[in-house]
Amino acid sequence: MQRTITIFLFILITVLLVPVPSAQAQQPHPTEAVAFEQHLGSQVPLDLPFVDETGAAVRLGDYFGEQAVVLLLSYYECPMLCPLLRDGLVNSLNEVRLNVGDDFQVINVSIDPTETPMNAASAKTFTLMRYNRPNTEHGWHFLTGTQDSIQQLANAVGFRYFYDETINQYAHASGILVLTPKGTLARYFYGIEFNPGDVRLGLVEASGNRIGTPVDQLLLLCYHFDPSTGQYTGLVMTLLRVAGLLTVLIIGGSVLFMSLRSRRGTPPSGPAQALG
């Protein structure tokens, strides 16, 4: 019995003495670095050099000046999130009655400095196959660049990401940005699916109302953009409806009150009674 107790105590002490790696000693993945920090109203550096899908040297500002711009940061050989992001954008734009190239531009910048124009060209070809508008290739731009150019652009728009060596992939936020023709950040839309109505209103607003219809202008008066959700909400319209309902109730109540008061002050009608 004593021998058993001695063995048990020895095992217990051994287990307790085994060093346990502390949480501080571990190096967790910096997932907190994956985010969109909204820089609404900020100017992106238009002089940043990149290379387009044909291998030509370009500057970011080459695609600004006249039209609003949809910008997404991803990478072309991404096996998971990025294809879903591009699909979500194309699906949304297929429902928007504005044409890429004619009304606005789309720029996809790779965050992987090792990718080449060949990767960009392949992504553009696949995207154009899914976008149901002919002769719009002049509005789609797929760029690659140096780490310095990529990082400067990412910092300017608040796009935080990192390279995970354990899985050989980039961890990054998902969403698209809408910029004005002068390169000012106007709207952030999060996720991999985008409401076509929100995207359209964002483009109309970013363009300075130079595209769209009078209906779009009316909608912009009735809706406001919620930066926390990346969506347009109908709060203003709801308030207008409530105010209209209250107005009707007040008017109706006033009419009813005046009618009742008028009846009480009027003597009853009927045949006159003879005095005698």
Q: What is the pLDDT of residues 138-154, one digit of tens each?
A: 999 999 999 999 999 99
- What residues form DSSP beta bridges with 106? 70, 140
pTM above 0.75, yes or no: no
Helix 81-94 to helix 117-130 angle, to the nearest 10 degrees? 40
| Count of CB atoms situated within 10 Å of the CB of 96 | 18
Q: What is the pLDDT of residues 5-58, one digit of tens each?
A: 444 444 443 433 334 343 333 344 455 567 788 899 999 999 999 999 999 999
105: helix, coil or strand? strand
Q: What is the rounded CA–CA span in Å between residue 55 and residue 214? A: 41
Q: Are 190 and 62 in contact (CB under 8 A)?
A: no
